[in-house]
Amino acid sequence: MSDGTLAALSRRLAAREISSVELVAETLDRIDAHQKALNAFVTVDRDGALAQAKAADAARAKGAAGPLAGIPIAHKDVLMTAGLPTTCGSRMLADFVAPYDAHVVEGLKRAGTVLVGKTNMDEFAMGSSNETSYFGPVRNPWDLDRVPGGSSGGSAAAVAARLVPAATGTDTGGSIRQPASLTGICGLKPTYGVASRYGLIAFASSLDTPGPFAQTAEDCALMMNAMAGHDPRDSTSLDRPVEDYTRRLSRSKGARPLEGLRVGLPREYFGKGNDTEVAAAVQAAVAEFVDLGARTVEVGLPAVDLSVPVYYGIAPAAASSNLSRFDGVRYGHRAARYDDLNDMYRKTRAEGFGAEVKRRILVGTYVLSHGYYDAYYVKAQQVRRLIADDYARAWRECDILVGPTAPSPAFRFGDKTDDPVQMYLNDIYTIAANLTGAPAISIPCGFTRAGLPIGLQIQGDYFSEAAILDVAHRYQQATDWHARVPRIAAAE
């Protein structure tokens, strides 16, 4: 019952075939059964979830419920949830209980979703493998010896293992799309500012973007209907008309639904560096788009090769500023013994932060320091503009861009932890969408011979979420990669 899509569960709840209490109880039992193996959750709120489910059933009985009412979801543990711990996967906030809800949490709560728990993540969203969490690594449900990607690995693993039908994540340099690729599900990064950052504990404020994980593009659209919207509490939130992100999905388009669509193939995404099986799966997906009526256009994004160094000039600089608030004075961890105020700061931050967070704080402080600010931070911002200009030119030639989400399938634990640069390069294809602020989605497009998922990234121009969701939906109507489940979920 709990392995259905959001859309399917919504129909069953509306038809009274199942109740929310039954659905949520089964979901909680599945989480309990798989938590030890996957470590996908940091917090599970059984009593709160069952109380919300009862309220959702009552609302449906009165005819006062929307399509998501009564459906269990999970939130990444970087989003504030009133009355529940919000840890950011860090010792620094291990005992912190959020006093209010994030904007996207509020939106999904108003839609009637049932929060079952908070998902594990790389510490303060810094990582591509979910190996940096204070609460231990999350495991990939397709192969427990491999990483699920990061930083939103807990949410991705929970959806891939069918513990919940959908979950939230945040994307700073690919932290929704890369784990979606490595776990075989769908993950959408919206246009920056479409989903408010209010209540999202900041890593890099000009890059962080909340977004949904789900089994299908249609489900991502349903989630976006509840998550998007203007929020005056967030100065970067965009005041735009309310959209229905499902509006294009129900249109019948015949045997060639993508007729006339111009699919851009960036030369930089199809060169060296890709795993051969990833490259083959992406080429097969492009051929499927052509069969559905699209035509391909080769485009160039010459500055995109600089995305990783640009990102690691900008993001750590923001992190060094945003994380300065965690000093042991107001909230979070505080060292037990110290000599004076400065000693308290030093010991608290030394104990509270993990190695990767410390590394990025140090890098960020360095690039912002006198004598290096112009050479590194300002230069990174200038190249960021060049990357955006490349994309602006590409949109004059094509409607969407497609390519691999990640250059390789899920790697084994420990394979990249001793070489941070190799870890950072796992986001080579996802970072540009954060630097430009444009939307992008990762959807499953195949599997390796070893049975590991491969993700296809579809990028669009600003505010084209409905369009790229429609393209992804049409592809999923013609293929079944998104419907395949790992053995850990299929065994039940």
- Indicate which residues carry an active-site annotation: 76, 151, 175
- Strand 440-447 relative to strand 186-189, pairing: antiparallel
Report the SS3 class of residue 105: helix
Rounded CA-CA distance 37/46 in Å is: 19
Q: What Å distances lie between residue 130 and 157, 240, 322, 454, CA to CA?
A: 10, 34, 21, 18
Residue type, 52: Q
Please answer whether residues 137 and 413 qualify as being in contact, where contact means their C-beta atoms are separated by less than 8 angstroms: yes
On the CB side of 231, CA atoms within 13 Å amount to 23
The string of DSSP letters for 279-336 reads HHHHHHHHHHHHHTT-EEEEE--GGGGGHHHHHHHHHHHHHHHHGGG-SSSSSS---S
Rounded CA-CA distance 475/480 in Å is: 9
Please answer whether residues 191 and 462 qualify as being in contact, where contact means their C-beta atoms are separated by less than 8 angstroms: yes
- Give me the residue label for tokens 């699920």: 148
On the CB side of 114, CA atoms within 13 Å amount to 37
311 phi and psi angles, rounded to 5 deg: -60, -40
Please answer whether residues 115 and 48 qualify as being in contact, where contact means their C-beta atoms are separated by less than 8 angstroms: yes
Please answer whether residues 371 and 238 qualify as being in contact, where contact means their C-beta atoms are separated by less than 8 angstroms: no
